[in-house]
Structure 1
Amino acid sequence: MSNLRVQALHVHPVKSVAGTALDEASVEPWGLAGDRRWAVVDSGGAVVTQRQQPRLALARARPAGGDRIELSAPGMADLVVEVPGPASPEPVALFGKKVETVVAAGAAATWFSAYLGVPARLVHLDDPAVRRPVDPDYALPGETVSLADAYPVLITTAASLDALNSLIARGDHPAEGPLPMNRFRPNVVVSGAEAWAEDGWRRIAVGDAEFRGVRECGRCIVTTTDQETAERGREPLVTLARHRRIGKSLAFGRHLVPVRTGTVRVGDEVRVLE
C-alpha cells in the first residue's frame, strides 16, 4: 500500500459552487481550511445547493487572500467578498436543521440573486468549532463540521472512478460516461489504490494529518449534473444503484473526520493505519 499518493486536493469555499484545486491545504478539525465556509440561502433562509439550482456548478469561488473569496460566473462581473464582521448570528436551514451563520454584505446578495434569477443571499459560517456538530451516530465528542453535507472531509480514489466508468460503459447509458472526478466534489483524491479500497479505510495518515474513516458517502442527484454545462443526466446514479448499494446509500467515496490536524500536499504518501 506504500504507493498510495495524493493525486489532487480541492476546496469548495461556497457550498455547491465550483471549487479550486490546491497544491497543499491545511487540515482543521472541521475540514480543509476554507472549505464550505460559505453557502447560498433562499428567501426563506434555506441553504440552496445544486439539487435545487444546477447552475451553481457554473459559478466559481476562489480564495482571494485572507479569508476573502472572489466570485465569478457566466455573464457576471467578478466580485470579491469580505468575511462579515461580528454580527448577530442568523439561523439558516441545512437539511432541515438550523445552523447559525452571519450574512455577507448586500453586494453578494445582489450578485447571487441576479445570477440565479431568484432572491438569494450569501452567508458565512463564522465559528465552525461550535456551530455544527458531526452526526452524533458517527461522531466522537466535540467533533464539528463546516457547511459540508455531513462530515469534514471527503476522499475518493482514481481507481474507483475508473471502475465506475467501466461499469457505466457496459450499462444502459454508456454515452453519459466516462465521468470526471468533479462530479463527486471530493477534497482528497488518491492514486495507487485498488478500486473501492477506501471502503475499508478506518484510519489513515496523509502528510502531517491523520483521519478517522467514518462511513461511505451516499450520492445524490448532484452527481448527475455536468459541472461544466449544468445539464443533468442519469449517471452515475443508475450504475451505483446496481453495483454500489451499501445499506441505503449509493456509495462512492468515504467520509473522514480529522483526528490530527496538519498540512497535506499533492504527492504526499497516504498511509492506511487501520
Structure 2
Amino acid sequence: MNELYLSEINIYPIKSLGGFRVQKAQIEERGLQYDRRWMLVDEECIFITQRKYFELSQLQVNIAEGRLTVSHKTDLDQHISFDLNEQTGENIIVKIWDDVAVGLEVSKQVSDWFSNFMKMKVKLVKMPLDEKRLVDPKYALNEEIVSFADGYPCLIIGQSSLNALNKKLEEKILMDRFRPNFVFTGGEPHIEDRFGTFNLGEITFTAVKPCARCVLITINQQTGIKSKEPLKTLATYRTINKKIMFGQNLVHKGSGEISVGDELNIVSWKEGN
C-alpha cells in the first residue's frame, strides 16, 4: 500500500463560511485551533448555514495578527474585522441540530454587519472556552467535546476519493465543496472508510463515523451557484442506509502541532478490512 501523507489542513473559523488553508496548525481538545469557534444564529438563536443561505459561501474568513476578517469574495467593499477575543460577555443559548450550547455575541456592530449582508436579523456568536458540547455518545470514545461543527472535531478525506468522483463528473469540482479539515494523498479511493485509528505526529485520531452529505456540497464555493452535482452522481455509488457518504468524521486524543507532509501512521483498520 502507498504511504499516506497529509496534503491539506483547512480551518473554517465561522461555521459555514469560507475557510483557509495552513501549512501547520494546533490541535486542541475541540479540534483545530479556531475551527468553527464562531457561528451565525437567527432570531430564535438557531444556527444558520449554506444549506439554506447559499450566499454564505461568498464570505471568506481569514485570521492574522490576532484579528478575524470577513470579506466578500467578489465585492471587496464588503468586509469587517474584529479582535479574536472580542465578545459581549452575555451568554446566549444557541441550538445546533439537536444540541443546545452557549454562545457569546461578538458585538452588536458585527451582528449588524452580518444582518445587513443577510437581509435578516442574525447574531455572530463565539463559543466560550468553558463550554463543553459533547460529541454524540453513540460515537464518542472518551466523552470528547466539539466546537460549533456539525458533530465531530475533525473531518478527513482522501484526495483519491475526490479524483475518483471527478472522473465520473462532466465538470470537475474542488475539494472545498466537502469542507474537510484534513486531506491526504496516497491509497485507493475511499481508503479512509477503512481507517480505524491512526497517528499524525503525537496525536491519535479515530475514524468513528462516515460523513453523511447534504445539499451544501452542490454549492460552488467560488460562485455561490447551486446545481445537482455532485450529489446526483454520488448517489449512484456512495449510498449507505439511504445516506450519501463521503469522508470520515474523527475524534482524537492529545494536543499539539500537525503539519502538511506529516505521515498518517495507521494503527488499526476497521474490522473486516
TM-score bracket for this pair, using the shorter chain length = over 0.9
2:70 touches 2:81 (CA, 8 Å); kept in 1? yes
SS in 1 for 2:236: helix
* Corresponding residue of 1:20: 20
Matched to 1:119, the amino acid is: K
Find the residue that maps to 1:55 and give its secondary structure.
Answer: helix
How far off is 1:85 after superposition?
Answer: 4.3
Question: 2:151 corresponds to which residue?
Answer: 150
Per-residue CA deviations over 1:58-91 (Å, capped at 9, x if unaligned) read 101111333x311111444432122334723211
CA distance in 2, matches of 1:52, 1:235: 17
Aligned to 2:34: 34
Structure 1 residues 89-168: aligned runs within 5 Å: 89-127=91-129, 130-168=131-169
Cα deviation digits, residues 87-133 of structure 1 (max 9, x gap): 23211111143211111111111111111111111000112x64310
The answer to whether 1:214 aligns with 2:247 is no
The answer to whether the aligner puts 1:249 opposite 2:251 as a matched pair is: no
Q: CA–CA distance in 1 between the matches of 2:187 and 2:113?
A: 42
Aligned-residue offset at 1:259: 1.3
Q: Secondary structure at the match of 1:26?
A: strand
Residue range with higher mean Cα deviation, 7-16 or 246-255: 246-255
CA contact (8 A) 1:37 1:147 kept: yes
Asked whether the equivalents of residues 2 and 270 of structure 1 are also in contact (C-alpha less than 8 Å), the reply is no
Cα shift at 1:156: 0.5
Corresponding residue to 1:87 among 79, 89, 93: 89
TM-score, reference length from structure 1 = 0.92
The 2-side partners of 1:23 and 1:161 are apart by: 21
Length, aligned pairs only: 265
Q: Secondary structure of the equivalent of 2:235?
A: helix
Tell whether the 8 Å contact from 1:217 to 1:249 is kept in structure 2 after alignment: no
Matched, 1:180 2:174: yes
Task: Determine the C-alpha separation between the residues in 2 that align with 1:59 and 1:259.
Answer: 32
Q: Distance in 1 between matches of 2:63 and 2:187?
A: 30
Cα deviation, 1:1-53, whole Å, max 9, x if unaligned, reads 46211111100000000001001011112111110000111122111100111
What per-residue deviation string (whole Å, max 9, x for no partner) do you get for residues 188-244 of structure 1?
000112111000101111123220111111001000000001110011111221100
Could you tell me how far apart the structure 2 residues matched to 1:253 and 1:26 are? 21
What is the CA–CA distance in structure 2 between the aligned matches of 1:2 and 1:242, rounded to whole Å? Answer: 27
2:196 to 183, 198, 202: 202
Q: What is the aligned partner in structure 1 of residue 51 from structure 2?
A: 51
| Secondary structure in 2 matching 1:81 | strand
Question: Structure 2 CA distance, aligned partners of 1:85 and 1:103?
Answer: 6
Residue 38 of structure 1 contacts residue 147 of structure 1 at CA under 8 Å; is this kept in 2?
yes
Runs of 4+ aligned residues of structure 1 deviating over 6 Å after TM superposition are: none
**Structure 2 spans left out of the alignment, 5+ residues:** 269-273
Three-state SS of the structure 1 residue aligned to 2:57 is helix
- The residue matched to 1:273 in structure 2 has which SS? strand
- Secondary structure (helix, strand or coil) at the match of 2:21 reads strand
TM-score (norm 2): 0.92
Counterpart amino acid of 1:131? K
Task: Please say if residues 91 and 99 of structure 1, whose CA atoms lie closer than 8 Å, have aligned partners that are also in contact.
Answer: yes
Q: Whole-Å Cα distance in 2 between the matches of residues 27 and 141 of structure 1?
A: 17
Identity %: 34
Structure 1: 5+ residue runs without aligned partners? 169-173
